[in-house]
């Protein structure tokens, strides 16, 4: 067939139109995620890489060789909505709260309290849980509040709001690298009391009658998902997932699964 200039132009227009339809429609087998990977600037193609400080039961811990917990359920839902694989990196909380997590992870999902100081190093999602502080001690320890805890061994997790609150209130606390070690020290008697978030410490002692929450502190803390500063595309997707999980009742289900009917 002889290709005239007019026919060549027509074929070119048809080809471009076909490519446009393919790009917009995507594959019939794999629906496109709500945001493209290029827009989201994922550190590993095809994966949502999540930094989390493990263990911090019941938010994130290892069971039968798998990372499980409240935050892990949220992370899995986010990866599913993005249409990518979930990849969890065990990170120190120091790296998370300083913002260094962004060098190897897309987000940090690790019971991170939203603070003005941390906002300077990372962007935060909408809050997904309220989580004030509490002081936990053994029955008969004589510790009833922060004043009576002064001079005693009070354990905190380093780099957390609990550690900061202890310092601000004159408590020379014993610092632990992670929440698991803090709880172990409390139950073994290495420390006299523990100061930290109500969710974790309340969960840790809920079935142990020898410990009690002796004082709660209304600090107004809320937990959020941390994203590399300036990555607005990914932040929008995170907030969209949190909104979905709230509206369809999933967050409530995650709470029931991992925290049960705990008393405040």
Q: Is the pLDDT of residue 7 over 50?
A: no
Q: Band of the pLDDT at 66, cuts 50, 70, 90?
A: very high
Q: Band of the pLDDT at 34, cuts 50, 70, 90?
A: low
Tokens 């932040």 identify what position? 235
Q: Which of 3-7, 98-102, 120-124, 142-146 has the lowest mean pLDDT?
A: 3-7
Q: Decide the pairing of beta strands 85-90 and 107-113.
A: unpaired
Taking Cα atoms as reference points, which of 148, 141, 127, 155 lies closest to residue 251? 127
pLDDT mean across residues, the chain: 88
How many CB atoms are located within 10 Å of the residue 164 CB?
16
Q: Is the pLDDT of residue 3 over 50?
A: no
Q: Is the pLDDT of residue 1 over 90?
A: no
Question: Residue 20 has which token pair?
Answer: 């446009």
Question: What is the Cα–Cα distance from 198 to 194, expressed in whole angstroms?
Answer: 11
* The predicted structure's pLDDT at residue 226: 98
Region 153-171 average pLDDT:
97
* The predicted structure's pLDDT at residue 260: 84
Q: Is the pLDDT of residue 103 over 70?
A: yes
Q: Is the pLDDT of residue 193 over 80?
A: yes
Q: Which of 11-15, 123-127, 182-186, 248-252 has the lowest mean pLDDT?
A: 11-15
Question: Residue 231 has which token pair?
Answer: 């990555």
Q: Band of the pLDDT at 179, cuts 50, 70, 90?
A: very high
SS3 label, residue 172: coil
Share of the chain above pLDDT 90, in %: 83
Region 191-211 average pLDDT:
95
Question: Residue 151 has which token pair?
Answer: 């001079």
Share of the chain above pLDDT 70, in %: 85
Whether the CB-CB separation of 133 and 197 falls below 8 Å is answered with yes
Q: Which residues contact 36 (CB under 8 A, 6 or more apart)?
A: none
* The predicted structure's pLDDT at residue 192: 97
More confident: 246 or 11: 246
Region 207-213 average pLDDT:
95
More confident: 216 or 16: 216
Q: Is the pLDDT of residue 86 over 70?
A: yes
How big is the CA angle at 139 (ends 134 and 140), to the nearest 5 degrees?
120
Q: Decide the pairing of beta strands 123-124 and 61-63.
A: unpaired
């Amino acid at each position: 067939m002889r290709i005239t200039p007019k026919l060549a132009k027509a074929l070119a227009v048809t080809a471009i139109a076909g490519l446009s339809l393919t790009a917009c429609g995507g594959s019939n087998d794999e629906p496109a995620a709500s945001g493209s990977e290029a827009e989201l600037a994922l550190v590993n193609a095809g994966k949502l890489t999540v930094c989390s400080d493990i263990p911090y039961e019941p938010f994130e811990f290892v069971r039968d060789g798998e990372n499980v917990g409240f935050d892990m359920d949220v992370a899995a839902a986010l990866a599913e909505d993005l249409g990518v694989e979930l990849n969890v990196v065990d990170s120190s909380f120091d790296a998370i709260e300083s913002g260094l997590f962004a060098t190897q992870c897309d987000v940090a999902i690790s019971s991170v309290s939203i603070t003005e100081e941390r906002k300077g190093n990372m962007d935060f999602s909408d809050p997904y849980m309220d989580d004030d502080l509490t002081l936990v001690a053994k029955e008969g320890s004589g510790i009833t509040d922060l004043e009576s805890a002064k001079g005693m061994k009070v354990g905190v997790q380093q780099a957390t709001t609990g550690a900061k609150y202890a310092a601000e209130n004159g408590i020379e606390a014993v610092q632990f690298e992670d929440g698991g070690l803090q709880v172990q020290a409390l139950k073994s008697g290495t420390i006299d009391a523990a100061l930290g978030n109500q969710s974790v410490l309340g969960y840790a002692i809920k079935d142990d009658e020898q410990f009690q929450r002796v004082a709660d502190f209304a600090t107004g803390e809320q937990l959020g998902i941390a994203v590399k500063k300036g990555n607005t595309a990914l932040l929008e997707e995170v907030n969209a997932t949190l909104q979905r999980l709230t509206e369809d009742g999933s967050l409530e289900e995650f709470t029931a699964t991992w925290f049960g009917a705990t008393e405040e």
